[in-house]
Amino acid sequence: MSNLMPRNDLLLLLGFAIVVLAMPIWLAPFGAGYPDLLQRFMIFGIFAVGFNILFGLTGYLSFGHAAFFGVGSYAAVWSFKLLTLDAIPAIIFAVAISGLFALVIGFLCLRRSGIYFSILTLAFAQMSYNLAYSVLTPITNGETGLQLTLSDPRIVDVALGKTLVGQPVPNILGQPLSGYAGFYFCAGFLILAFFLAQRVAGSPFGMMLKAIKSNQTRMQFTGFNTRPYALSAFVISGMYAGLAGALLAVTDPLAGAERMQWTASGEVVLMTILGGVGTLVGPVIGAWIIKYFENILSALNDNILARFWSFLPEGMDSVLVKITSKFVGDGWHLTLGLAFVIVVIFLPGGIMEGVRRIAAAFRRSDNSAKPSARTQPAE
Amino acid sequence: MFEVIFLQFLNGLDKGAAYALIALGLTLVFGTLGVVNFAHGALFMLGAFCAVSVRMFLTMETVTVDPEKLSPWGTPLEVREPLVQAWLGDFGAVLVNYSVPISILITIPVMLLVGIALERGIIKHFYKRTHAEQILVTFGLAIVAQEVIKSVFGPNPIPQPMPTDLRGAADIGSWLGMQANVITYPLWRLIYFIFAGVVIGGVFAFLQFTTFGMVVRAGMADRETVGLLGINIDRRFTIMFGLAAVVAGMAGVMYTPLLPPNYHIGMDFLVLSFVVVVVGGMGSLPGAVAAGFLLGILQSFASMTQVKAIIPGIDQIIIYLVAVVILLVRPRGLMGRRGVMEA
């Protein structure tokens, strides 16, 4: 194993796996230890890791990644409908389809760079979104969203003589994927995705991508054709997005077009930036934090706030309730926006840069030169 | 057939005018400060909500419960008395009626201040940062502005009536010597188009014929040299940012009767306007205006039933489709310069 990957990487992967698999335990005190949210942590973690392969390594800022996410979802649900309720074929199918889709779009978009690239990806994603709502309704079922029904053909299941009792639910080898089973299923994929991203970043191919980011023109002058490399990165990250979309369809088999809207693409950009562009762990942490606060803050209401501030004297607490209530519930986007502005202004490297700075400060204060753990989420 | 095409052309003009105004402001900011401003849609929205607030102030009422009279439900009748009418009589009624055009007077100083504060407060620190970071910080600001407006005015669209005299339609066909009542066009849309033309012309004239504009143009071409000549170019660029905010705000105010503003109206326009700017070519003012009208008119043609029958769904994607084609055929948009924003 030691000649397959450097020891530090292996330790990072192990630490990451432990943190992920133990999430139901260590997140329970924060009120996030329930499978539905944990599944989302995993899924958006994969999405952000994949996005970082494109944006973090090559520097191409795509504003249309939600399209691949949505395509993955639709492909997975169609596989459930037409072939089998087993999750594995659905995921393979979804990754393949979104990879193909990314190949076509990437081939066109990568002819341009800079903001022209961003706008091209945005345009393609918005086209997919608008079409999914209008003309492609036979495939996407429009606003209602694509759902599983009892009368779906499911050729493979029927051929194998499996009969369905009750509501169709995605499963793996007959085991239903709900609750913690779904979480561990997604967690396995997140760890795999993280491992692959680590390998990509450490490989000669990854070096090439970083070189594209730092100086594409010089690369071209030295005789490299950079476009195949950038295209590979685009396709890989599109496949990651498709995998995440498929997993979302596995845990909740209802695919809607709003997953492809540009706000969804913006969200993954936010996750990556918040965590730290170009770092391995950062995007995952960014995804977790955004999803965590989305769930926790949007669930808060005035009653809970009143109880929280009740230790304060009369009058003061009601004022504070009024102020803080603007930042939670429906208004949690305000918190997100503010946090985001502050992070971009003061910590352009995201949370990972914050962790590094704190670690550096500690190292300076006591010269024992013991580096603090890098993989600890900054919560 | 000619009438139908002409009518669609006219229908595209007002939307195209809105795109052109927003794209013009975006390009001004980009051309002067070199900043990609994703908060520009939010400025459009703030302008629209200036109109909303002005109307709210003008229609403030005193509610007194009159115990003598009873409403049909048997409860004491509430007598509502609009304050402005009470103070100013008929003139007050005119003020309320014309609240949308009047808001422009309020919007100009407000948006100028907002723009200058934004530039001095935050954007200033991002000149030396990458374009990605500029996009991100302004995107965050846009979210903040949007959410603040949402928490003040609520999530629902707030309709703004247009002045009663300006409702109805203009019979453009008969003006041009054609058959009457064939080509009619809502009067307010015509006003919006003319208004946009005046604003765009004003901005161009300001840049072209005033000393201030000359200095700004020189600064756009070579900021450093202008600075070395002892001109405080930063201050002028700050004012240009304020001017761009004013243009966006005025576009928002005048658009309110056409589309009731809600908190995400800015974002809806922003995405399209960015496409417009890029199609026109980053940094080119005429390009932005031309692309705005071009895309607005194309969108209007694509939503004709005859066209939709041939290519279903084309009305949904036409703008993006045109953007993709133009960007792939003309790398820098219609009138873009070489080497801008390609890194």
For residue range A310-356, list pLDDT tens digits in order.
777 777 777 777 777 777 777 788 888 888 888 888 888 888 888 88
**Would you say A189 and A247 are in contact if contact means Cβ atoms under 8 Å apart?**
yes
Q: Which class for A219: exposed (0-12), middle (13-18), buried (19 or more C-beta within 10 A)?
A: middle
3-class secondary-structure state, position A145: coil
User: Are A127 and B317 within 8 A, CB to CB?
Assistant: yes
Q: What is the pLDDT of residue B340?
A: 57
CB atoms within 10 A of CB B5: 11
Q: Which amino acid appears at position B103 of this protein?
A: S
Q: Which residues of A touch B143 (CB under 8 A)?
A: 333-334, 336-337, 340
Which residues from B are below 8 Å from A when comparing CB atoms?
36, 122, 125, 129, 131-133, 135-137, 139-144, 146-148, 150-151, 155, 267, 271, 274-275, 278, 282, 312-313, 316-317, 320-321, 323-324, 327-328, 331-333, 341-343
**Would you say B253 and B103 are in contact if contact means Cβ atoms under 8 Å apart?**
yes
Q: Which residues of A touch B137 (CB under 8 A)?
A: 341, 344-345
Express as a percent the part of chain A with pLDDT over 90. Answer: 33
Q: What is the pLDDT of residue A229?
A: 93
Measure Cα distances from B292 to B18, B25, B288, B289, B324 in Å.
8, 12, 6, 5, 15
Q: How far apart, in whole angstroms, are the C-alpha atoms of residue B295 and residue B301?
A: 10
Q: Which residues of B touch A66 (CB under 8 A)?
A: none
HSE of A63, CA atoms in CB hemisphere, 13 A? 23
- End-to-end distance of chain A based on CA atoms, in angstroms? 32
Where chain B has pLDDT below 50, the residues are 343
In this structure, what token pair is assigned to residue A198? 């680590």
Q: How far apart, in whole angstroms, are the C-alpha atoms of residue A353 and residue A21?
A: 25
The domain locations on chain A are: 34-281
Which residues lie closer than 8 Å to B156 by C-beta, 6 or more apart? B262
Residue A378 has pLDDT above 60, yes or no: no
Q: Which residues of A touch B316 (CB under 8 A)?
A: 127, 130-131, 133-135
Q: What is the pLDDT of residue A136?
A: 84
- Looking at the domain assignment, is residue B336 inside a domain? no
- A323 interfaces chain B, CB cutoff of 8 Å: no
- Looking at the domain assignment, is residue B339 inside a domain? no
CA distance B16 to chain A (A): 18
User: Are A124 and B324 within 8 A, CB to CB?
Assistant: yes
For residue range A165-215, list pLDDT tens digits in order.
677 888 887 777 778 888 999 999 999 999 999 999 989 999 999 998 888
Q: How far apart, in whole angstroms, are the C-alpha atoms of residue A70 and residue A64?
A: 11
Diameter of chain B by CA atoms? Answer: 78
Q: Which residues of A touch B318 (CB under 8 A)?
A: none
* Closest listed residue to residue B249, CA positions, set B238, B233, B265: B265
- Picking from A106-110, A286-290, A333-337, B194-198, which range would have the lowest pLDDT averaged per residue? A333-337
3-class secondary-structure state, position B33: helix
- A6 interfaces chain B, CB cutoff of 8 Å: no
Sign of CA dihedral A58, A5, A38, A346: negative
- A180 interfaces chain B, CB cutoff of 8 Å: no
DSSP state of A86: B
Q: Please give the sequence-ordered ranges of beta strands (E in DSSP) within chain B, or none if there are none.
A: 61-70, 76-82, 169-171, 184-186
Q: Which residues of A touch B332 (CB under 8 A)?
A: 116
CA distance B23 to chain A (A): 14
Residue B81 vs residue A146, higher pLDDT: A146
Helix (H) / strand (E) element for B189: namely helix B187-209
Which residues lie closer than 8 Å to B63 by C-beta, 6 or more apart? B78, B79, B80
- Looking at the domain assignment, is residue B142 inside a domain? yes
Q: Which amino acid appears at position A66 of this protein?
A: A
Q: How far apart, in whole angstroms, are the C-alpha atoms of residue B41 and residue B25?
A: 10
Q: How far apart, in whole angstroms, are the C-alpha atoms of residue A367 and residue A359?
A: 12
Global ipTM: 0.79
Between positions 324 and 343 of A, the ones with CB within 8 A of B are 326, 330-331, 333-334, 336-338, 340-341
User: Are A115 and B282 within 8 A, CB to CB?
Assistant: yes
Q: Which residues of A touch B303 (CB under 8 A)?
A: none
Residue B290's CATH number: 1.10.3470
Which CATH code for domain A34-281? 1.10.3470
- Looking at the domain assignment, is residue B340 inside a domain? no
Q: How far apart, in whole angstroms, are the C-alpha atoms of residue B247 and residue B34?
A: 18
Express as a percent the part of chain A with pLDDT over 70. Answer: 95
A134 closest CB neighbour out of B146, B313, B323: B313
User: Are A127 and B125 within 8 A, CB to CB?
Assistant: no
Residue A41 vs residue A1, higher pLDDT: A41
The C-alpha angle A80, A84, A88, rounded to 5 degrees, equals 80
- A198 interfaces chain B, CB cutoff of 8 Å: no
Q: How far apart, in whole angstroms, are the C-alpha atoms of residue B341 and residue A4?
A: 41
- Looking at the domain assignment, is residue B114 inside a domain? yes
